[in-house]
Amino acid sequence: MKIAKSCILFVLLLGTVTGCAGAHSQAPRLEGNMLIPCPDSPNCVSSQSESSSRKIAPFVFTGAPEAAFAKLQKILAARPDTQITISVPTYVKVEFRTSLGFIDDGEFYLDAEKKVIECRSASRTGYWDMGKNRRRLEEIRSQFNQE
């Protein structure tokens, strides 16, 4: 019993020290029309990445750009693991909460000229994500393409 309590205390302290939730800027993180690059760690994917291991396809749409972006925002708002923190006409930033309580940052940029929505998802803390960020964006893409 004492060992179990010690283990629980250790996990709680570890989360506090490493910043499970983490703090992050609430301003759009764009450099011109580019999402910020992924870090060197393998816990980030981006449609604008040059690295094949971090590259993911953007969301492609037909029709009105505003309608496509509104559809994406509706999908994001309906997800129980997602909180929209910034929403402007061409950019949305979200926080994805994992089952372990970690927060990952997701970003979506509407490029109306190219008829794509650029996307990026990255773990806020840690090094490995076991492919979670890629799987999550592919799940969202699947919903986006179905509706």
pLDDT tens track for 39-95: 999 999 999 999 999 999 999 999 999 999 999 999 999 999 999 999 999 999 999
Return the minimum-mean-pLDDT range out of 12-26, 61-75, 92-106. Answer: 12-26
The domain total for the chain is 1
Q: Examine residue 17 and state whether it is found in any structural domain, yes or no.
A: no
Local structure of 20: helix, strand or coil: coil
Residue 51, pLDDT score: 94
pTM of the entire predicted model: 0.81
pLDDT at 17 over 70: no
What's the alpha-carbon Rg for the chain, to the nearest Å? 17
Could you tell me which residue, 13 or 5, shows the higher pLDDT?
A: 5
pLDDT at 20 over 70: no
Q: Examine residue 1 and state whether it is found in any structural domain, yes or no.
A: no
Confidence of residue 19 (pLDDT cuts 50, 70, 90): very low
Q: Examine residue 12 and state whether it is found in any structural domain, yes or no.
A: no
Q: Examine residue 125 and state whether it is found in any structural domain, yes or no.
A: yes
- Please give the Cα distance from 13 to 33 (Å, whole number): 39
pLDDT at 119 over 90: yes
Tell me the pLDDT tens digit for each residue of 30-54. 878 899 999 999 999 999 999 999 9
Return the minimum-mean-pLDDT range out of 19-23, 89-93, 131-135, 139-143. Answer: 19-23
Local structure of 56: helix, strand or coil: coil
Q: Examine residue 8 and state whether it is found in any structural domain, yes or no.
A: no
- Please give the Cα distance from 84 to 37 (Å, whole number): 21
Give the domain range for residue 28.
22-146
- Please give the Cα distance from 124 to 21 (Å, whole number): 8
Instruction: List the CATH number of the domain containing 83.
Output: 3.30.310.80
pLDDT at 140 over 70: yes
Could you tell me which residue, 36 or 19, shows the higher pLDDT?
A: 36
Q: Examine residue 52 and state whether it is found in any structural domain, yes or no.
A: yes
**Phi and psi based region of residue 58 (left: phi greater than 0; alpha: psi -120 to 50; beta: remaining):** beta
